[in-house]
Amino acid sequence: MPEPEKHTAETPGGSPGEHVVRPLDPRSLRGLAHPLRIQLLRALRRQGSATASQLAERLGESSGATSYHLRQLAAHGFVEDDPERGKGRERWWKAVPGGTVFDESLYRNEDPEIRGAVDVYLHEIASIHTQELNTYLGTRSDWAQKWLGASDMSDFTLRLPPAKLRELSEKMHALVEEYRTAPEQDAPDAERVRVHLHAFPQHEG
């Protein structure tokens, strides 16, 4: 079984023992690889259940568009009805628990549709990471000094063959997993923390 590409997208909350990731296969990737669908899933993961109208207002889209794309996400198993909220006329949606992992075998798929879906998906994730970082930088004055000192925005340049880059990524992922179950996550001053990992080859010069 091929090793997964080190991109994961997670659902906040849930107990540490319930952290599950779903590998994206060609079918599920086609169902997710649309900018609005990725934004809808992200919103439900971060902010909890919502209706199509609420999501439309939040994302600046029409409710018709959000309704359609939510149904597509549901057909591919990313979102589902929220029975605890859907008691009125309007349908409430929630993210299916867990996260997603991008399998590197998708890079080798020769179907042009899959190649296009890979491009859409990865560029949208990169845009989200940039947006999240810019939002933090623009609102950093809202955070206490201890958070400013603890945050990090570093970059490093190494010379490595592919096997060592994979090893480095796996070790960093394992380290992050250790902190997922740390007892300090329930500390009074704990906040949700986003950790981005970008590791890629670069031409000289």
CB-facing half-sphere around the CA of 192: CA atoms within 13 A: 11
pLDDT digits 0-9 by tens, 56-82 = 999 999 999 999 999 999 999 999 999
Provide the pLDDT confidence category of residue 128 given band limits of 50, 70 and 90.
very high
What CA–CA distance (Å, rounded) separates 48 from 58?
13
Average of pLDDT values for 134-160? 96
Strand ranges inside the chain, DSSP E: 4-9, 21-24, 50-51, 79-81, 92-95, 99-103
For the stretch 159-201, pLDDT in tens is: 999 999 999 999 999 999 899 889 999 999 999 999 999 999 9
pTM: 0.84
Reduced 3-state DSSP string for 111-143? CHHHHHHHHHHHHHHHHHHHHHHHHHHHCHHHC
